[in-house]
A and B are shown apart, each in its own frame.
Chain A
């Protein structure tokens, strides 16, 4: 079935450094969603990207959707300890608008 591959699996940074996680698919995606899960918490929606080449920003977070709609990235500028958590990309799968298939996530840890 459809799968999104996320890299890296883990990333440890010093506070203030930048961080990027990538999501890749072998098939064209209708859209992609990003979620953040704090340690011990539940996934929290961050953003949805729909258009080819779309770029969206939320403060220090920049989300991109590739031109071919097969990949996406999340970039955090100047990480803070509050950024700690696992970042998941998720795609609608099975031709549906509701069924999400999640990547394995990237666990970000930040050293203060």
Chain B
């Protein structure tokens, strides 16, 4: 079956611009996660959705970052007034549920470059 998909695969934007990153999880997975990965580091947790609601957004670095999952499937990570420090690979993952510790299936990521 289809895995987690993310679009775009690459995004180059100018400092100060707004960007949206999309994630399409595995069908039937109720839990969805966003991570950010910088070069040479492990993925860093940003936000977790169980269904439509953001159950834990404690990893979002500041209020420029926001994510939605209006119908409990596709999610969009939104970054306002981008800064050069936002450059990283943004990974989306999904799992069957978040209420039990399950393996997380990662998408290919979106490489964001802020110039």
B91 interfacial contact with A, CB 8 Å? yes
Q: Is the CB of B91 within 8 A of A98?
A: no
Contacts of A90 in B (CB 8 A): 42
Measured CA separation A41–B109 after assembly (Å): 8
Q: Which of B33, B44, B105, B107 contacts A98 (CB 8 A)?
A: B33
Q: Is the CB of A97 within 8 A of B101?
A: yes
Q: Which of A30, A98, A104 contacts B41 (CB 8 A)?
A: A104
Contacts of A33 in B (CB 8 A): 101, 103
A73 interfacial contact with B, CB 8 Å? no
Q: Is the interface of A mostly helix, strand, loop or mixed?
A: loop
Contacts of A96 in B (CB 8 A): 56, 98
Interface residues of B, CB < 8 Å — how many? 28
Size band of the interface chain A makes with B: 20 to 34
Contacts of B108 in A (CB 8 A): 41-42
Q: Is the CB of A97 within 8 A of B100?
A: yes
A79 to chain B, nearest CB (A): 22
B1 interfacial contact with A, CB 8 Å? no
Q: Is the CB of B42 within 8 A of A102?
A: yes
Question: Which residues of chain A (74-112) have a CB below 8 Å from chain B?
Answer: 88, 90, 92-94, 96-105
With both beta carbons as reference points, the residue of chain A lying nearest to B6 in the complex is identified as: A42
B99 interfacial contact with A, CB 8 Å? yes
Q: Is the CB of B101 within 8 A of A104?
A: no
B70 interfacial contact with A, CB 8 Å? no
Q: Is the CB of B43 within 8 A of A43?
A: yes
B10 to chain A, nearest CB (A): 12
Measured CA separation A11–B72 after assembly (Å): 41
Q: Is the CB of A48 within 8 A of B42?
A: no
B104 interfacial contact with A, CB 8 Å? yes
The interface of chain A, by Cβ under 8 A from chain B, is 30-31, 33, 41-45, 48, 88, 90, 92-94, 96-105
**Minimum-distance CB pairs A-B, first 8:** A102-B42, A98-B98, A45-B103, A42-B106, A97-B101, A43-B106, A88-B42, A102-B43
5 pairs, A vs B, C-beta closer than 8 Å = A42-B107, A42-B109, A44-B106, A45-B103, A99-B48
